[in-house]
Structure 1
Amino acid sequence: MARPNDEVEALLQEYADLIAITGGDAFKARAYEKAARAIGGYPADISHLDAEGLREIPNVGRSIAEKVIEYLRTGTVAVVEERRAGIPAGVRELITIPTLGPKKALRLYEDLHISSVNELTAAIEADALHDLKGFGEKTQENILHGIELMQQAGGRIPLHLALDTAEGIVAELSAVTGCKRCAYAGSLRRMKETVGDIDVLVAAKRSAPFMDALAALPVTAEVIAHGPKKTSIRTTKGVQVDLRVLPPDSWGAGLQYFTGSKAHNIRTRTIAVRQGLKLSEYGLFEVDSGESVASRSEEEVYARLGLPWIPPTLREDRGEIDAALRGELPEVVTERSIRGDLHTHTDLTDGLAPLESMVAAAAERGYAYYAVTDHAPNLYMQRMTDEKILAQREQLRTLDGAHQGMRLLHGTELNIGPEGDVDWPDDFLAGFDICVAALHSHFDLGRKAMTRRLVRACENPHVNVLGHPTTRLIGKRPGVDADWDEVFAVCARTGTALEINAQPDRLDLCDEDILRAKEYGTKFAVDTDAHSVLHLAHLRYGVGTAQRGWLTPDDVINTWPLRRLRQFLRKGRPA
């Protein structure tokens, strides 16, 4: 279920966009953006805070605190409603297009009276934007690609939002009398990066109490269908949830049936048929006698088919059945495998929490080691200096080992320039324990130039991890165009790990890229890129993505003991 913090974050971000659309003070818009991020990343529930408590959150001043209190009390904010009323809904729709900012949306409306995505598409196709300043051919191509991204996303839900909803509903239904088991299934259990709808299963002797309970939940906005075998609702956030209640003895078969992709299930049913069996959500049955031969657990069902249990994240018919039959199914990486986080930020740059808070929170997660990697000076808005980063290093050294023996690594997130250069000279970079390098600008370079840029960065002897490699933002920004096979090969050759960035709007690399990169023998780092204490928990999304890419602990450098990790980070340099 959405936290009040998340709702207020969305509201303040919308207000910042509305200010920008109407040509308001850019500084004011930026202030609301910063406050939105700070509230979204604040660990405590803000609904329990008064105005004074809210003002203790970084970037939340008196005026913003008053608006937050107004929203928490009434569900609306008067000035936001006024701004909304002054802007056509179509213009607000336009700014949801990836790559199209508020100012361009307003210009389209004022100059050409364009107020919908369909009108904008038609105008570009009719070459009606050719005389409009700032809308050259490349910009129009980017806008069309952004529209395509938005349409592909359609009504699909980001993984983290779907999980929040599903886990809340599972908790509610698990408390209903008679519940033996309850879990979510489908593409959500397979940890796909976006989800069409949410499947929830309950094992119980009677279905009616659970169907009624789902329909009556506060999160339920609409009951789409209500029956003894299946109930479907739409939540207040527009997410469809389908509930099925199974007999307890059918739990394993039902979970297997409603988890696997369609292609995976076809493969398992085909194996069943060859053995004279029939597989359904109720069990595995002998065709001739109708006798049930397996149903209570997934392990039992798979074993009767001659297969080991297959992790849900692998059930996509991408070779997992054949690997299982050969006894070559990978022991995929798990959250328990991860010994530390190698890409995190503090409030020294764009993080929300001080160094001490981030370190303490990492220690609570049981990590053996933890890296702090604030931004370097070439990302100018972060105002990093040599003096600041060296002072942080001293502070880090005093904390090293002070939290449950957790070792601290001092690192930085370097900015990869257009030519593949990075911040700071070699002698300064040599003082860091770990360097993550990432793209933060110039995303529109041609394929050859972008490939050359990434290759040069990976060949730098001080660059250990290529952070969020493609720069994609799911449903908002496509990845950069590069010869990724060449980049993957160079990473393998130079000992540069590819990051699986666990931020749920990134999940970069994606599972398909991981599968390709693994063939070259590359190593990976599953990192959170945490900008707040709460972000450290995003690790689960990165691990799920790594599993979908068939990675084992040996493939992931931050599952390794510290000594082995430090050896890798030297990239062949003398100790």
Structure 2
Amino acid sequence: MTSPIPGKRTRAGAHPEESGAPAPFLPPGSLHRFPNARHAGPRHRRHGPPRLDDVTRSNEEVEALLREYADLLLITGGDAFKARAYEKAARAIAGYPRDVSRLDAKGLREIPGVGKSIADKVVEYLRTGSVPAVEEARAAIPAGVRQLTAIPALGPKKAMMLYEELHIASIDELSDAIHDHKLRDLKGFGPKTEENILHGIALMQAAGDRFPLNVAMSVADDVVAELCRVAGCEACEYAGSLRRMKETVGDIDILVAADESAPFMEAFAHLPYTAEVIARGEKKTSIRTTKGLQVDLRVLPLDSWGAGLQYFTGSKAHNIRVRAIAMRHGLKLSEYGLFDAKSGRKIASRSEEDVYARLGMDWIPPTLREDRGEIEAALNGRLPRLVAESDLRGDLHTHTNLTDGLEPLEEMIEAAGRRGYAYYAVTDHAPKLYMQQMTDEKILAQRARIRDLDRARGRGGMRLLHGVELNIDVEGDVDWPDDFLEDFDLCVASVHTQFGQSREEMTRRLLRACENPNVNIIGHPTTRLIGKRPGIDADLDAVFAACARTGTALEINAHPDRLDLSDENILRAREHGARFAVDSDAHSTLDVAALRYGVGTAQRGWLTPDDVINTWPLTRLRRFLRKDGHG
């Protein structure tokens, strides 16, 4: 571990090497809002650039409708091409930066992938709240069958087959049928399929009522913004697992510091997205939002702010250890402060830093508070200076509409430029993912265009890198031969298909990719989709060791559905000496802001800026990409 590195904030758009000082550590969710305090600035501001979640609720509703209709088409045996068209339109609308409810049919047709029929349905839905074609498809399929399609490893056609052949219309009925071996006589249902379905059911049940990190963050940011506008707000912040940047969130804890609680409880209960007031009191009110998330609001006196924030941030295991240390010092720690156990005199409470300092510890970043060694490190002054979003100099995994991205090259570059990057890589898919329809001619034409744009930007501008996302096939080979790959600035290689190989086969597959001299980054290394698809079965320690040995970085894919590698795997890979790349895997200009979630995951894995290759100056990054000295 290294000691925390003091530093000052660099000027807007500057990278630390340009200002001569490292960027400060600003953990996600750690920015206290003190609207009435000295030097407070605005009442509410977001961390960094516009967030991924700045998509209107109309866009989200339309996306959900189109995705549902695509599933319904597949369940009923409809045209697969038509279903894919609706899926593509759903993605395009989800990534569209404007509110689609403000567009007419003509405006909607300007969105890539939205044709006349889809545009007409969207207009009808926004005008009336329903679409007859969707309602008819819903009526034709039992609700239980639609529920089955949510199980990882069970597609729409198999779900409908189970209903038609065995009258299975619920997850419980499916689980019972598998245990009774009733599926094995059906075409396409063998022992391995049964095993995969049971694993998928367990994955769904484990997720329970938990929500993706970005969904919870969107709600929390909105709630904090609203409550900061209430007169008398001294401070407002979200706490709990969200502040610790866990990959899924069960509920949201919001804290307010104020003299009077009533105005905040009233405002909270009447937020526009409040669907239900679960409980309402003087110190705590709980609501359920229209998205189904429970949000708890607590109002504390300003003097107890630090102790309350520490207490409600958790984790439970972390807090138990901290309270035990307090007891050994003859102290008592609660959400109201740190007190002398005998006299009851308050010793510290106003800031988290004071509470930790009085216990002999450095302030512990929220993302580390999981009782995984952070308390010992804080007691000994050995906490790392964690990587922050402001440390990132570029993004090394992004897509354009040349393959499955939503927006053209120039718009993606412009979005990256607004983030003040020093470099930016475009890595569209290679031809082995046949649905992307990549060719040698297309990729070379893109390279020529990127080189022209890079020259036009000049030496002082953001440098453009031409890369590619390769597919790692079942043997560990990638799309193009070495002589073709040598001319890319970097190559990301990822597993996209055939996830069911044996542990030995999958390990060999990944090791061969790591050893390829032209592969620089293993993209979304375990391929998991949180709550939807488990990670591949491979000897990850062998893969991590190979990455360290060959100078191949492991990606921390920042997409909220992936967050791959996970924090636990980052900790394991770091022990092997591996390096990492925190990438957005952006498929639209909105997606570039997902990096906040990747950084939070990197922090939970105890990573410093030196561990993350896209915090490095371009000259050092290029040395690493040559794989001849590992940077």
Pair in the same fold by TM > 0.5: yes
> What residue number does 1:314 align with?
368
> What residue number does 2:572 align with?
516
2:263 is aligned with 1:233: no
Matches within 5 A, 1:38-187: 38-187=92-241
> What residue number does 1:299 align with?
353
SS of match in other structure, 1:285: strand
The code of the aligned residue for 2:546 comes to V
User: Structure 2 stretches of 5 or more lacking a match?
Assistant: 1-52
- Aligned with residue 272 of structure 2, among 212, 215, 218: 218
SS of match in other structure, 2:527: coil
Q: Deviations over 1:27-64 (max 9, x none)?
A: 11111001000000111121221111111000101111
Structure 1 residue 482: Cα displacement = 0.4
**Is the 8 Å Cα contact of residues 427 and 467 (structure 2) preserved in structure 1?**
yes
For the residues of structure 2 that align with 1:310 and 1:190, how far apart are their CA atoms? 11
For the residues of structure 2 that align with 1:560 and 1:44, how far apart are their CA atoms? 34
> What residue number does 2:301 align with?
247
Structure 1 residue 402: Cα displacement = 4.5
Q: Deviations over 1:264-317 (max 9, x none)?
A: 001111111111111111111111221111111111111111111111000000
Structure of greater relative contact order (alpha carbons < 8 Å, 6+ residues apart) = 2
2:349 is aligned with 1:349: no
List, as ranges, runs of 4+ consecutive aligned residues in structure 1 with deviation greater than 6 Å. Answer: none
Structure 1 residue 501: Cα displacement = 0.3
2:530 is aligned with 1:494: no
SS of match in other structure, 1:200: strand
Q: Deviations over 1:387-415 (max 9, x none)?
A: 10010001001111655700011000000
For the residues of structure 2 that align with 1:325 and 1:452, how far apart are their CA atoms? 42
- Aligned with residue 325 of structure 1, among 379, 388, 393: 379
**Is the 8 Å Cα contact of residues 492 and 522 (structure 1) preserved in structure 2?**
yes
Q: TM-score, normalised by structure 1?
A: 0.99
Structure 1 residue 574: Cα displacement = 12
- Aligned with residue 496 of structure 2, among 440, 463, 474: 440
For the residues of structure 1 that align with 2:345 and 2:131, how far apart are their CA atoms? 62
For the residues of structure 2 that align with 1:14 and 1:169, how far apart are their CA atoms? 29
> What residue number does 2:622 align with?
566
Q: Deviations over 1:439-478 (max 9, x none)?
A: 0111011001110010000000000000000000000000
The code of the aligned residue for 1:410 comes to H
**Is the 8 Å Cα contact of residues 201 and 245 (structure 1) preserved in structure 2?**
yes
Structure 1 residue 75: Cα displacement = 2.3
> What residue number does 1:266 align with?
320
Farther off after superposition, 168-177 or 549-558: 168-177
Q: Deviations over 1:50-82 (max 9, x none)?
A: 111111000101111111112222222222112
The code of the aligned residue for 1:35 comes to A
For the residues of structure 2 that align with 1:390 and 1:365, how far apart are their CA atoms? 27
For the residues of structure 2 that align with 1:138 and 1:469, how far apart are their CA atoms? 23
For the residues of structure 1 that align with 2:479 and 2:212, how far apart are their CA atoms? 33
**Is the 8 Å Cα contact of residues 224 and 233 (structure 1) preserved in structure 2?**
yes
User: Structure 1 stretches of 5 or more lacking a match?
Assistant: none
**Is the 8 Å Cα contact of residues 500 and 524 (structure 1) preserved in structure 2?**
yes
**Is the 8 Å Cα contact of residues 623 and 630 (structure 2) preserved in structure 1?**
no
The code of the aligned residue for 2:73 comes to I
Count of residues in correspondence between the two structures:
575
SS of match in other structure, 2:343: coil
2:53 is aligned with 1:21: no
Q: TM-score, normalised by structure 2?
A: 0.90
> What residue number does 2:535 align with?
479
**Is the 8 Å Cα contact of residues 551 and 630 (structure 2) preserved in structure 1?**
no
- Aligned with residue 375 of structure 1, among 429, 433, 437: 429
For the residues of structure 1 that align with 2:390 and 2:316, how far apart are their CA atoms? 30
- Identical columns (%): 74
For the residues of structure 2 that align with 1:211 and 1:177, how far apart are their CA atoms? 12
> What residue number does 2:582 align with?
526
**Is the 8 Å Cα contact of residues 401 and 408 (structure 1) preserved in structure 2?**
no
- Aligned with residue 32 of structure 1, among 74, 86, 101: 86
The code of the aligned residue for 2:523 comes to G
**Is the 8 Å Cα contact of residues 623 and 629 (structure 2) preserved in structure 1?**
no
